[in-house]
A and B are shown apart, each in its own frame.
Chain A
Amino acid sequence: MKNDKGQMKPVAWLWLCVAAMLAMGAFCPPQALAQVPARFYWKTLSDANAVPLIINSINGNTNPFDAAHTVTPGADFDATLALAGYGRTFSLLDRAAMAAIILPMGRISGDVTVAGRTFNQSASGFGDPMIEFNVNILGPPAQKNIPDALRYEPGFSVDLLADLAVPIGEYNSDQPLNIGQNRWYGRLGMPIIWQLGPWVPGRRTTLEFLPAVWFFGNNNDYVGQTLKTDPMFQVDAHLTRDFTERFWGSLDAAWYYGGQASINGVSGEKLNNLGVGLTLGYTINDNLNLTVGYKSTVNDSAPGDLRMDGFMVSFVYGWHPLLEGSKRLKEGEK
């Protein structure tokens, strides 16, 4: 009957717990297909930092750098898109909040067939940086310290989300295909996380929704014309499930509606499309998280339908001063 020295050492699992929270993808940024990955809005310890790097390979009839998903009938684009950024969590009036900036970059090329003639276009460079702000309005309070983090369970939580893209990305007004969009645009949304069952790593299940409306300013120099786009309503949905403490997956769906574009007053069609996908996530170590996924539109046989599919690989490196300091002390002990 050895006495319980072991029970006096809570540090070991604490480490895993908080590190996992940092690296589990809470900082994945918006990406191509205009759908953020599952578990994007999970909350973590305040004052944590993360740098994401997301790489997408996308094919379709729309420009993945364009959140409006304006369809170009008959087009076939290939894009390699990377998003790098920085995010930080903080407490705002005792609510969990997050601010992030994301910079898209990459290249896109494609053929556009109009009236039997095929044109090839390409673009590369940096896109429009996007600033994102998210704050929780319903659910547990911010995790201001590790005890808060230990006791956190989302239950049913609702956030308010605002995104704003700043039109400073590379733009060539001589062609419609661009990395930058030459207009302001942004999004208002309400991320919802619904915890199903226990909140135990390895057994977590969530149903997540993100209803949002995208707003677009005018592009007054769209190949010498004016591009206007109506607001677009979008709902992302994810059913996520842990497979192990470090490995999870999700079934993803996204519905796009509206976003009717007009060029010099000539309107295109409204979007009314559905995309589905799969995502797998893995926590590589205390700081680094890996996500891979595939998404594709499904009702995309008509020429005017949104058609897009893509693979995605993301790395998110997260850190918190408390954990890094603890890690140094731990290393010092060795």
Chain B
Amino acid sequence: MKPMRSIVSRLLARAELLTSSLPPTRAIVREPGNLSPLLRMLGIVVMATALTAPPIASAADTLRRPNIVIILGDDLGFADMGAFGSEIKTPNLDSLTKDGMRFTNFYTHASCSPTRSVLLSGVDTHLNGLGNMDEWTAPNQWGVDGYEGYLNNRVATLPQLLKDAGYHTYMVGKWHLGKTPEQIPAARGFERDFSLLEGAGSYWDMTNFTAASPQSVFTEDGRYLTRLPDDYYATKTYTDKLIGFIDANRGDGKPFFAYVAPQAPHDPYHLPREWRNRHVGEYDKGWDAVRQERLKRQIELGILPAGTKLSERMWFIPDPIVLAPASRAILGKKMELYAGMVENLDFHVGRLIDHLKKIGEYENTVFVVFGDNGAEGTDLFEMIAGKPGTRDFLFAAIHWSQTHPNAWGDPGSYVAYGPMWAQVSMTPFSQYKGWLAEGGIRNALIVSGPAVKRPKGSVNHGLMHVADIMPTLLEIAGASYPKTNDGGELPALMGKSWGPVLAGQAESPRTEQDYLGWEIFGNRAVRQGDWKIRWQYQPLGKGDWELFNLATDPAERKDLAAERPDKVRELVALWDNYVRANNVVLPSRSPFEALDDQLPKRVPDDPGFPPLIYKRQFVPPKDMMADPKP
């Protein structure tokens, strides 16, 4: 049976190769079972040819559509990869930049599920169901279309379209776009999956964070798991599973689309012991010094222009040089662990790359790598575990109380590195995840593989958005975006294909008139060209529109709203357009609504102030010193 199967597989593969080289009309690629008479005839010819063809690579192989791998780091910061200025060692991710290109002006959303929803649907969050995170949907958004808290069925998904176009579609990692049977990866276009349906959880087991929802839910190939595999560690297992998926279907010659969405480096920083001590003491110097070093390297690498300044150190974060060595050591150890998380992630990406090279698929694989939002500066655990006497505090006491630093990384530990290191991860930008400052939404992007025609290793500064990935990959796969899905009209894609940029024909997929809009948790922003307005809750925002010129001030240090009211008006008009076009319903409640009362009063971060604690011991001139007179 085996030889016969093999021949049949090869024939099918060759037929598929042929269809893939044809013009990408939806009718053709979405319904391979209903091939046109012309195609049927061509297929028969190819099959007949194949029967007599020698078993070596034919010219058709060169026309094979590329595999596609999206690697979505969870809370991975703009400056966390070596190729983007980090001291964290990421040789495998960096190798993709050497074989591809880097993008410095790429935007996601400010939190994870909204970004993921846009990535997989190509449609704005307020239309695709993630107008707010499920965890924070406001009362006035309940029941409103576009605010379901899961990826709704009014959108088509990237894996669904790629599967219809003849791709194998695999997913491993975090889903966070719905848990019911009709919302899980298998129902949204993935043939194979091994998925954590939650937004976060233990990397070691099924423990989740609250007494109300104590257990993480996983699926594998559309079935809800009763337990996890032996020897489970999230990043490792996800990689193992994906390699298994790829190998299982390799013989049929179809290209694959793999959505690799590891939890890493999202907190809690669960990490095998051998990865925890690779940066011991390295971060005791403090966040300011590391930010300065990263910025210097970013400028040297061409990621940022010379003269770029760091954003303000947030006013409630102390200057590390005034902290005791013990404080710096313990806070630094959190960053050591984070660095280990990123390096472990890189290691497993390396395993995937090596495997693709080994099976001869690497050269024909397009990689798209980025983080889903800004680095995490909020203490999620504090929000969840709450205060003594609460239900979830008791849950945390039993399941999440391994607080000793030597336990950090173990099951039951919950470490996150805090806003000071989140700012490092987002060097040189301002703020972090959840906010619409650049530190919340701007991320590093790598694209490599056969789609990239520019010189390897090049850096591009064009204005890109996560919504662009859907049209870009459909184009690469030779597929198209349909007008309807299951009888319903689909919303238009909001992104623009990167095809011309990757081909070296354009510097940006956008014109100066195109704009991008964001809204999450009531914070809102618009970018057009070099200009950006943002409205954020106090005290990270002003409760009013702020205006920044990102070309001259990427760190958003200087609010130009008072100087340029005309520009503010212009951009606010775009915001209004965005609201209308996307059914934006500003939330009546927000996680940030009371933040003004929880943080210290906002003050500038003037270096060296107050002199009281910075001025060093006065040493008089030696020749003027004397013992007291008798």
B is bound to A:
yes
Whether B329 pairs with A147 at a CB distance below 8 angstroms is yes
Q: Which residues of A contact B402 (CB under 8 A)?
A: 200
Q: Which residues of A contact B281 (CB under 8 A)?
A: 147, 151
For B407, give its contact among A1, A5, A6, A200 (CB under 8 Å): A200
* CB-CB contacts below 8 Å: A5-26 with B: 5-8, 10-11, 13-14, 17
* CB-CB contacts below 8 Å: A116-172 with B: 145-147, 150-151, 153
In the complex, A3→B284 CA distance in Å?
Answer: 22
Interface string of A245-289 (1 = CB under 8 A from B): 100000000000000000000000000000000000000000000
For A147, give its contact among B284, B317, B598 (CB under 8 Å): B284
Interface string of B256-284 (1 = CB under 8 A from A): 00000000000000000100000011001
Q: Does B419 contact A (CB under 8 A)?
A: yes
Q: Does B91 contact A (CB under 8 A)?
A: no
Q: Which residues of B contact A153 (CB under 8 A)?
A: 406
Which of A2, A3, A6, A146 has most chain B Cβ within 10 Å? A3
For A150, give its contact among B330, B595, B598 (CB under 8 Å): B330
Whether A14 pairs with B326 at a CB distance below 8 angstroms is yes
Whether B406 pairs with A198 at a CB distance below 8 angstroms is yes
Q: Which residues of A contact B565 (CB under 8 A)?
A: none
Whether B406 pairs with A7 at a CB distance below 8 angstroms is no
Q: Which residues of A contact B325 (CB under 8 A)?
A: 145-147
Which of A1, A11, A199, A203 has most chain B Cβ within 10 Å? A1
Q: Does B316 contact A (CB under 8 A)?
A: yes
In the complex, A13→B408 CA distance in Å?
Answer: 13
Q: Which residues of A contact B595 (CB under 8 A)?
A: 1-3
Give the size range of B's interface with the partner: 35 or more
Q: Does B107 contact A (CB under 8 A)?
A: no
Whether B599 pairs with A3 at a CB distance below 8 angstroms is yes
In the complex, A275→B71 CA distance in Å?
Answer: 61
Whether A8 pairs with B420 at a CB distance below 8 angstroms is yes
Q: Does B383 contact A (CB under 8 A)?
A: yes
Whether A1 pairs with B591 at a CB distance below 8 angstroms is yes
- Assuming the A-B contacts A147-B281, A147-B325, A201-B404, are A4 and B330 also in contact, with contact meaning beta carbons closer than 8 angstroms in the complex? no
Whether A6 pairs with B329 at a CB distance below 8 angstroms is no
Q: Does B504 contact A (CB under 8 A)?
A: no
Which of A6, A7, A146, A147 has most chain B Cβ within 10 Å? A7
Q: Which residues of B contact A10 (CB under 8 A)?
A: 326-327, 330-331
In the complex, A17→B383 CA distance in Å?
Answer: 25
Closest to A13 in B: B403
Q: Which residues of A contact B333 (CB under 8 A)?
A: 150-151
Whether A8 pairs with B591 at a CB distance below 8 angstroms is no
Q: Which residues of A contact B407 (CB under 8 A)?
A: 198, 200, 203
For A4, give its contact among B328, B379, B404 (CB under 8 Å): B379
* CB-CB contacts below 8 Å: B391-423 with A: 402-407, 410, 416-420
Q: Which residues of A contact B328 (CB under 8 A)?
A: 147
* CB-CB contacts below 8 Å: A281-317 with B: none
Q: Which residues of B contact A145 (CB under 8 A)?
A: 325-326
For B599, give its contact among A5, A150, A245 (CB under 8 Å): A5
Q: Which residues of B contact A150 (CB under 8 A)?
A: 326, 329-330, 333, 405
Q: Which residues of A contact B77 (CB under 8 A)?
A: none
For A11, give its contact among B273, B327, B334, B416 (CB under 8 Å): B327
For A7, give its contact among B326, B379, B592 (CB under 8 Å): B379
- Assuming the A-B contacts A151-B280, A198-B407, A200-B404, are A3 and B378 also in contact, with contact meaning beta carbons closer than 8 angstroms in the complex? yes
Closest to A147 in B: B329
How near does chain A come to B367, taking the closest CB pair, in angstroms? 32
Closest to B540 in A: A3
Q: Which residues of A contact B284 (CB under 8 A)?
A: 147
Closest to B431 in A: A3
Which of B333, B404, B405, B417 has most chain A Cβ within 10 Å? B404
Q: Does B627 contact A (CB under 8 A)?
A: no
Q: Does B606 contact A (CB under 8 A)?
A: no
Whether B326 pairs with A8 at a CB distance below 8 angstroms is no
In the complex, A151→B334 CA distance in Å?
Answer: 13
Closest to B330 in A: A10
In the complex, A1→B284 CA distance in Å?
Answer: 27
Q: Which residues of A contact B598 (CB under 8 A)?
A: 2-3, 5
Interface string of A94-107 (1 = CB under 8 A from B): 00000000000000
In the complex, A14→B281 CA distance in Å?
Answer: 17
In the complex, A17→B404 CA distance in Å?
Answer: 8
Whether B379 pairs with A3 at a CB distance below 8 angstroms is yes
Q: Which residues of B contact A4 (CB under 8 A)?
A: 377-379, 382, 416, 418-419
How near does chain B come to A72, taking the closest CB pair, in angstroms? 48
In the complex, A11→B331 CA distance in Å?
Answer: 11
Interface string of B415-454 (1 = CB under 8 A from A): 0111110000000000000100000000000000000000
Q: Does B318 contact A (CB under 8 A)?
A: yes
Closest to A322 in B: B326
In the complex, A145→B329 CA distance in Å?
Answer: 11
Interface string of B350-383 (1 = CB under 8 A from A): 0000000000000000000000000001110011
- Assuming the A-B contacts A1-B383, A1-B434, A4-B416, are A151 and B317 also in contact, with contact meaning beta carbons closer than 8 angstroms in the complex? no
In the complex, A5→B379 CA distance in Å?
Answer: 8
In the complex, A11→B330 CA distance in Å?
Answer: 9
Q: Which residues of A contact B404 (CB under 8 A)?
A: 13, 17, 200-202, 245
Closest to B413 in A: A200
How near does chain B come to A92, taking the closest CB pair, in angstroms? 21
In the complex, A150→B382 CA distance in Å?
Answer: 23
In the complex, A40→B383 CA distance in Å?
Answer: 41
How near does chain B come to A114, taking the closest CB pair, in angstroms? 57
In the complex, A146→B524 CA distance in Å?
Answer: 44
Whether A14 pairs with B382 at a CB distance below 8 angstroms is no
For A151, give its contact among B273, B329, B403, B419 (CB under 8 Å): B329
Q: Which residues of A contact B318 (CB under 8 A)?
A: 8
In the complex, A8→B284 CA distance in Å?
Answer: 14
- Please give 10 more A-B residue pairs, beta carbons under 8 A apart, in addition to A17-B404, A202-B404: A2-B382, A2-B595, A5-B316, A5-B598, A6-B382, A10-B326, A11-B327, A13-B404, A145-B325, A147-B284
Interface positions of B (Cβ within 8 A of A) = 273, 280-281, 284, 316-318, 324-331, 333-334, 377-379, 382-383, 402-407, 410, 416-420, 434, 521, 591-592, 595, 598-599
5 contacts between A and B (CB under 8 A): A3-B599, A14-B326, A145-B325, A146-B324, A150-B330
Top 7 A-B residue pairs of the complex, sorted by shortest distance between their CB atoms: A147-B329, A7-B418, A146-B326, A4-B379, A10-B330, A1-B591, A200-B407
